[in-house]
Structure 1
């Protein structure tokens, strides 16, 4: 994020809300803060779930507020976090950064999709009259193009032939050299992307700079001297605690009602443990 925003933003702290049913014996006290039972963790900006039927483990963002407005949430499969190498971590980081930009700053996809009449995978460039990838980049995206009106037309950038590209994260974050958003000089305003449709042809960086994080010169460029590694804070909602108050009076002792109450309370407590 720090590189993608020209040294103007980075994540300082991340709060990880653990499910209440998870055993956390292995976590040290310095890592975990138990919340009171009445104070459930806030709804997370990023939700870790099982694999999605459409997106799989790849992160995706629900956006209902329009251009330049914060989205609803990001969702991703847990297996994406189980990277096997540094390359895998870098790949996951770029995917998540692209979705964070959509969620936080209200930008949108700059790539097309197969069988999508609104945002096709390729389009006929009016300048060259040739089919080109639906994308935004600082150079020509190399890959096999096709006529989007034909069934099965799709586009995938060649993984080892696009090392000259550095943008855009909203187009092909899976490419290892991609690290920037398109700006007013590199933006492709004629490509039929969702970002162009939602944001009136303005570049992603133009939109990002007008958000509350950067407008008016907020968060100026830094050299990263304070450190870029975020602080991780783990929280978990505590299990509820119950207090049983027994009236110790002559009437209660005479009627011996507590003998009937205690077994019922014990049964209720056992059921709570089973469902927790």
Structure 2
């Protein structure tokens, strides 16, 4: 029997009412494998744009399918409420808010962040396994699908990546700062900080685009200007953000294209004591 609504995000668009908030985030529950109680709120400073609402629904519906596959059918998005500013027209709404506010939303749509710009990010202050504060998306990311695809890849897969940060307390499996883009592996060769090792790409100098790390077996780490750029066309890794169908795991019988790289000095290994993303998610159990 076909499950017609398994991946359908049930979006209720509401008017966001300005009320005093205790800053307690809306409670999300996992019931019968479906996440319910998710609240998305749009900042009152964002200009009215029906594309933002339509794209939110499309992205979450697509992300639900991806999440279901990546969690081995253990989770999907089921019930989501979208809060609109009072300044937006009534044509997009179905009812008034009943206590939900921007300050208590799980996901916010706001202006670009001074540090992150239009990059989607999770305000993550806790340690491994602890939930984040909220996911931050921008109107540019949601309003212009073509630009978002060209800049970040599939927005639905980006959302699943951020959900791992927010809900399960996962950390990035690539280097996020100026350090640790490369390391010496157990053979003394220069290796790239990535998970899994099947993430294809090229090491290039950020100043001129020329190849760097030409002789990894020499055991000499590249200078600070060398970065690894994934090749979106040739990637085979099933754990890479753009091609994710699995979280990195440590199952010797699992898909080798998403096998966890425990040696890489990335935030996931550093904060989670070298546990894979899948093991951290399984431990979280939420």
Please state which band the TM-score falls in when normalised by the shorter chain. Answer: 0.5 to 0.7
Selected match of 1:181 from 247, 258, 262 = 247
- Quick one: distance in 2 between partners of 1:114 and 1:155? 13
- Quick one: distance in 1 between partners of 2:232 and 2:83? 36
Matches within 5 A, 1:236-251: none
- SS in structure 2 at match of 1:26: helix
**1:78 has 2:139 as partner:** yes
More strand by share: 2
- SS in structure 1 at match of 2:80: strand
* Long gaps (5+) in structure 2: 1-66, 204-211, 214-219, 252-258
**1:16 has 2:82 as partner:** yes
Deviation track 1:131-162 (CA, whole Å, cap 9, x = no partner) reads 22211116253322647651322211122221
- SS in structure 2 at match of 1:108: coil
- Quick one: distance in 2 between partners of 1:140 and 1:48? 31
2:198 aligned partner: 139
1:67 aligned partner: 128
Q: Which has the higher contact order (CA 8 A, sep 6+)?
A: 1
Contact 1:115 1:153 in 2 (8 A): no
Count of paired positions:
196
TM value normalised by structure 1:
0.64
2:58 aligned partner: none
- Quick one: distance in 1 between partners of 2:269 and 2:104? 30
1:51 aligned partner: 112
TM value normalised by structure 2:
0.62
- After TM superposition, give the deviation of residue 25 of structure 1 in Å: 2.7
Contact 1:48 1:77 in 2 (8 A): yes
- SS in structure 1 at match of 2:104: coil
2:275 aligned partner: 202
**1:156 has 2:207 as partner:** no
Contact 1:71 1:103 in 2 (8 A): yes
Residues 48, 140 of structure 1: alpha-carbon distance in 2 compared, 3 angstrom cutoff: closer
- Quick one: distance in 1 between partners of 2:238 and 2:138? 27
Contact 2:141 2:147 in 1 (8 A): no
Deviation track 1:46-72 (CA, whole Å, cap 9, x = no partner) reads 111112233221211121221111111
- SS in structure 2 at match of 1:52: coil
- Quick one: distance in 1 between partners of 2:116 and 2:266? 19
Contact 1:51 1:57 in 2 (8 A): yes
**1:34 has 2:100 as partner:** no
User: Which protein is bigger by CA-based radius of gyration?
Assistant: 1
* Long gaps (5+) in structure 1: 214-276
Contact 1:148 1:154 in 2 (8 A): no
